[in-house]
Amino acid sequence: MLPNSPVFPPVSSTLASKVDLLFFFTVGVSVLFSVLIVATIVAFLVKYRRRHAAETGQEIKGNTLILELAWSIIPLGLVMISFFWGAAVFFESSRPPADAWSFHVYGKQWMWKVEHPEGKREINEFHVPVNQAVKLTMTSEDVIHNFSVPAFRLKMDVLPGRYTTAWFKATKTGTYHIFCDQYCGVDHSKMVGKIHVLEPQDYQKWLVGGASAGGAVATGGELFVAKACNTCHRSDSSARAPILDGVFGKSVSLADGRTVLADESYVRESILSPASKIVQGYQPIMPTFKDQISEEEIVQLIRYIQDLKPAGAAAAPAAAAPAAGGKS
């Protein structure tokens, strides 16, 4: 929209120009009315100024129906346009498309950690393919942060203790800024990063080459054994604990009569506070893993559970294309 403008960031995602258009519309309407109001005030100041000391105002009686209707209906119409237009853009920005690749983002004083669908990790650098929808599931390891990429018009709070999601589809290759948009401590201003948008073949090349940053984290399968989840959650169903194969993405009946969707937040809650949602037909014997497991390990377990197919179905091709990453 404004190429190479120092005022506006580049327009590099499918959502960016839609957000800009809405922004310019609301600013335009506001400026138009501000100018009209100020001009009217000035004109009336001059026109109805007191011309001699004894002058009194004329009494005004009755009303002008057309005028009253006009100044009610026109602003209502304009506000409704902003409302429905804004709602449409909001819905689009908050619903990742079904074919989005699933990335995880961790905010931490003072860095951004990213995990790719096939497990590769990086810090403050984020490589993504162009023209591919990317879904971010984000959480914080300490305080509230905010993941912001101005070029994508993307900005989402990253909170400790829960998952927030955002998505984007980059439309132009290049390197763009990542900022933390929520004051989070002394080095908040250094909590910045770069997002590199690559051609799909360059992204694949990048994926196979180079080491993964951020230290090794055990895979979900290893953790499932190391944390002894497998002693209760066995696929041969000794009836102590529900079989987890195929549970992800399904709805689960709880002992108190509610049903919940087994999504990432549900699995996370099941691990950290198992007693808050008890599965129907089971005893609350699962211990909490709070303080014994890191946010990154929880995500590994979620991914492992996500890939557990119901008995009989073909096993998921291990770490094939990143497209195999979750589609919740």
Q: Is residue 285 part of the contact set for ligand HEC (CB under 6 A)?
A: yes
Contacting range for Cu ion; rule: CB under 5 A; set: 46-54, 142-150, 207-215, 232-240: 142-150
- Rounded to 5°, angle at Cα 182 from 179 and 185: 100
SS3 letters for 37-78? HHHHHHHHHHHCCCCCCCCCCCCCCCCCHHHHHHHHHHHHHH
Tell me the three state secondary structure of residue 148: strand
Q: From the list ligand HEC, Cu ion, none, which binds 276 (C-beta under 5 to 8 Å, kind-based)? A: none
- Rounded to 5°, angle at Cα 302 from 300 and 307: 100
Tell me the three state secondary structure of residue 175: strand
Q: Is residue 228 part of the contact set for ligand HEC (CB under 6 A)?
A: yes
Determine how β-strand 133-140 pairs with β-strand 101-108. Answer: parallel
**CA 237, CA 261: separation in Å to the nearest integer?**
22
In the bound complex, what is the minimum distance in angstroms from residue 328's beta carbon to ligand HEC?
A: 14
In the bound complex, what is the minimum distance in angstroms from residue 219's beta carbon to Cu ion?
A: 28
Q: Is residue 299 part of the contact set for ligand HEC (CB under 6 A)?
A: no
In the bound complex, what is the minimum distance in angstroms from residue 138's beta carbon to Cu ion?
A: 12
Per-residue binding string, ligand HEC, 234-273, x by CB under 6 A, is -------xx-x--x----x---------x----x--xx--
Q: Is residue 279 part of the contact set for ligand HEC (CB under 6 A)?
A: yes
- Of 129, 233, 306, 307, the residue at the interface with ligand HEC (CB under 6 A) is 233
* Strands of the 111-115 sheet, one edge to the other: 121-123, 111-115, 101-108, 133-140, 164-169
In the bound complex, what is the minimum distance in angstroms from residue 6's beta carbon to ligand HEC?
A: 50
Q: Amino acid identity, residue 39?
A: A
- Of 232, 245, 246, 324, the residue at the interface with ligand HEC (CB under 6 A) is 232
Q: Is residue 134 part of the contact set for Cu ion (CB under 5 A)?
A: no
User: In the window 3-42, what residues touch ligand HEC (CB under 6 A)?
Assistant: none
In the bound complex, what is the minimum distance in angstroms from residue 246's beta carbon to ligand HEC?
A: 10
Buried b vs exposed e over 299-324: b needs ≥16 C-beta within 10 Å? bbbbbbbbbbeeeeeeeeeeeeebeb
Q: From the list Cu ion, ligand HEC, none, which binds 170 (C-beta under 5 to 8 Å, kind-based)? A: none
Q: Is residue 180 part of the contact set for Cu ion (CB under 5 A)?
A: yes
Beta bridge partners of 254: 279
Helix, strand, coil proportions of the chain in percent (round to 5)?
A: 35, 20, 45
Q: Is residue 138 part of the contact set for Cu ion (CB under 5 A)?
A: no
In the bound complex, what is the minimum distance in angstroms from residue 158's beta carbon to Cu ion?
A: 8
Left (φ > 0), alpha (ψ -120 to 50) or beta: where does 254 sit? beta
Q: Is residue 308 part of the contact set for ligand HEC (CB under 6 A)?
A: no
How many Cβ atoms sit within 10 Å of the Cβ of residue 285?
11
**CA 237, CA 227: separation in Å to the nearest integer?**
19
CA dihedral 316, 318, 319, 324 (to 10 degrees): 0
Residue 143 or 232: the one with the smaller Cβ distance to ligand HEC is 232
Residue 187 or 199: the one with the smaller Cβ distance to Cu ion is 187
Q: From the list Cu ion, ligand HEC, none, which binds 180 (C-beta under 5 to 8 Å, kind-based)? A: Cu ion
- Chain residues binding Cu ion by CB under 5 A are 145, 180, 184, 191
- Chain residues binding ligand HEC by CB under 6 A are 227-229, 231-233, 241-242, 244, 247, 252, 262, 267, 270-271, 274, 277-279, 282-287, 289, 301, 305
